Amino acid sequence: MLLTQSQNAYDRQFIWAQEMVLEIPTFDDDLLDLSDFADRLEKFIEVEHHFVQGGLVLALNSKYGSGKSTFLRMWKNRLEKRDNKPMVISLNAWESDYYGDPLFAIISSLIESLNQNNKDAQRIIDAAKDLGWFATAIGGQIAAQITGINFEAAGDFAEKKREQRESKEETSETHSDTFSVYESRKHAMSNLKEAIEEHVGSTEPRTIFLVDELDRCRPDYAISYLETIKHIFDVQGAVFILAADRDHLENSAKTAFGRDLDFDEYIRKIVHREIALPTLVEANYQKIASEYVKYYLERNDLRFTRLKKNTSQYKRIHELAHLFNLTPRQIQEMFRLIGHVFNAQSENEHPLFWCLEIRTFFMVAMKIGRREDYFNFGHQNYSAIETYDFLKIVLRNKDTKWWFMLLMTGEAFKIASHGECFKILVEVGLASQEEEKFYSERLDKFAQGWGFSNHGRFKQIFETIEQISCWN
């Protein structure tokens, strides 16, 4: 069995839940080579903020799990170490989604940062309270009266609260008509924006808001977040970096405004420039795979692996991540899962046969990156021709023959016997009759790489991965 069925192994089976996610705090430990990108982004901001009115809003577009959060974390760390550092405010939009109002989530983080920098934020606090009391009163009326908002009650409530805070002995006249309440709320909004500008406003970009996880929010909250930035924080000197998957934001906008929305025009009113996070190159995959092997597979006193150390197959591991276009988060998930599949009782336990090693990585990569194909291979639904066509597409004709022989000898598809393997190679066009002796020797090496028997190895790998997945 691939999975060690001992009590010690079972005692460690919940390591997955206990492990900390491998986080990279600085560019010194960067696996994605994003330092140069940060340099270019900073220079871009220095120039671009002169050509926009109000605050500068940039969208950092990239697929979910591709490293946006890691980049923001590393960049924030670097910015805060500078002598002439800007005020950097990290915002997790998804975490504040639960509270329902992006305005006060952003304000709260701004006040916290001002306090940390020994700056008096009282005016912002007072202005936010004035505006907040309107929101509180209106929210209560919505709950009590389905037909609409009792603006008179909302105005009375907000006015009384403001008077109590200012501790005025003389009460002012309360305007309870709808128009007056609207004017009062508009005035409160204006006061808040002026208070924000007092601390944030500058001819230079001195306050940078890093907004993460916007693409994970409820559609209405995500759109409300964008509108809040547009209407309240449009202040010269403020820079917003919105890290999100553009497709997710588009879906949110169309959910809010209808499927016919021209999203390009909509986002252009809020975002001044859209910037793509650099895609990974093969060297990045090599570094990530190397680091994750140490972190997820070789944890002293916690986890030992049955992988052969310094195996030449490590090269094929990072190649798989590259060929399947896995994001850094998906690669992380792959290694966490592999850590359980290859779990051993001790570092002295016999290593696995090499075919089992690389074949397992192949299946786990498929489970994460191409789930439908993973199940089809797991149930031997593909024929030899379909398997070959699949490999040509996914592997981009790189080592297709090698991978096909690996899958075939491990019975990824149904074959009558091992002796039929060469015949299949000829049928799919990977060999000619004259090469039988050469390929027979190669096929024997693959058969040996599966161990004493290659029968059912593919199904065994699939079942083991599924068993581990159920634990999670």
- Of the candidates 434, 427, 428, 454, the one whose C-alpha atom is nearest the C-alpha of residue 443 is 454
Highest mean pLDDT among 131-135, 191-195, 310-314, 317-321: 191-195
Cα–Cα distance list, 103 to 11, 29, 67, 84, 164 (Å): 46, 35, 26, 28, 23
CA pair distance 68, 246, nearest whole angstrom: 13
Residue 264 confidence (pLDDT): 95
Residue 78 confidence (pLDDT): 94
Q: Which residue has the tokens 């027979």?
A: 440
pLDDT over threshold 80, residue 364? yes
Residue 20 confidence (pLDDT): 40
How is residue 140 written in tokens?
Answer: 């209560």
Residue 165 confidence (pLDDT): 59
Question: 17 or 306: which carries more pLDDT confidence?
Answer: 306
pLDDT over threshold 80, residue 353? no
CA pair distance 344, 306, nearest whole angstrom: 6
Question: 35 or 17: which carries more pLDDT confidence?
Answer: 35
pLDDT over threshold 80, residue 184? no
pLDDT over threshold 70, residue 378? yes
Question: 445 or 132: which carries more pLDDT confidence?
Answer: 445
Residues with Cβ < 8 Å from 337, sequence gap 6 or more?
A: 364, 367, 368, 465, 468, 469
SS3 per residue for the chain: CCCCCCHHHHHCCCHHHHCCCCCCCCHHHCCCCCHHHHHHHHHHHHHHHHHCCCCEEEEEECCCCCCHHHHHHHHHHHHCCCCCCCEEEEEEHHHHHCCCCHHHHHHHHHHHHHHHCCCCCHHHHHHHHHHHHHHHHHHHHHHHCCCCCCHHHHHHHHHHHHHHHHCCCCCCCCCCCHHHHHHHHHHHHHHHHHHHHHHHCCCCCCEEEEEECHHHCCHHHHHHHHHHHHHHCCCCCEEEEEEECHHHHHHHHHHHHCCCCCHHHHHHCCCCEEEECCCCCHHHHHHHHHHHHHHHHCECCCEEECCCCCCCCHHHHHHHHHHCCCCHHHHHHHHHHHHHHCEECCCCCCCCCHHHHHHHHHHHHHHHHCHHHHHHHHCCCCCHHHHHHHHHHHCCCCCHHHHHHHHHHCCCCCCCCHHHHHHHHHHCCCCCHHHHHHHHHHHHHHHHHCCCCCCCHHHHHHHHHHHHHHHC
pLDDT tens digits, one per residue of 196-239: 999 898 888 889 999 999 989 999 899 999 999 998 899 999 99
Q: What is the rounded average pLDDT of the residues 100-105?
A: 84
- Of the candidates 317, 334, 245, the one whose C-alpha atom is nearest the C-alpha of residue 66 is 245
Nearest-10 Cα torsion for 244, 249, 251, 254: 180
Banded model confidence at residue 452, pLDDT cuts 50, 70, 90: low
pLDDT tens digits, one per residue of 133-169: 655 443 333 233 322 334 445 455 556 656 665 654 4
pLDDT over threshold 50, residue 350? yes
CA pair distance 372, 358, nearest whole angstrom: 20
pLDDT over threshold 50, residue 310? yes
CA pair distance 93, 188, nearest whole angstrom: 24
Banded model confidence at residue 315, pLDDT cuts 50, 70, 90: confident
Topology given in CATH for the domain delimited by 32-276? Rossmann fold (3.40.50)
pLDDT tens digits, one per residue of 422-443: 999 999 999 999 999 899 889 8
CA pair distance 122, 371, nearest whole angstrom: 53
pLDDT tens digits, one per residue of 70-91: 999 999 999 999 888 899 999 9
CA pair distance 16, 469, nearest whole angstrom: 11
Residue 266 confidence (pLDDT): 94
Q: What is the rounded average pLDDT of the residues 273-290?
A: 87
CA pair distance 164, 89, nearest whole angstrom: 32
- Of the candidates 356, 262, 376, the one whose C-alpha atom is nearest the C-alpha of residue 305 is 356
pLDDT over threshold 80, residue 265? yes
**Which residues are bridge partners to 344 per DSSP?**
304
Residue 461 confidence (pLDDT): 85
- What is the residue extent of each domain of the chain? 7-19+281-471, 32-276
Residue 134 confidence (pLDDT): 55
Residue 176 confidence (pLDDT): 52
Q: What is the rounded average pLDDT of the residues 339-347?
A: 73
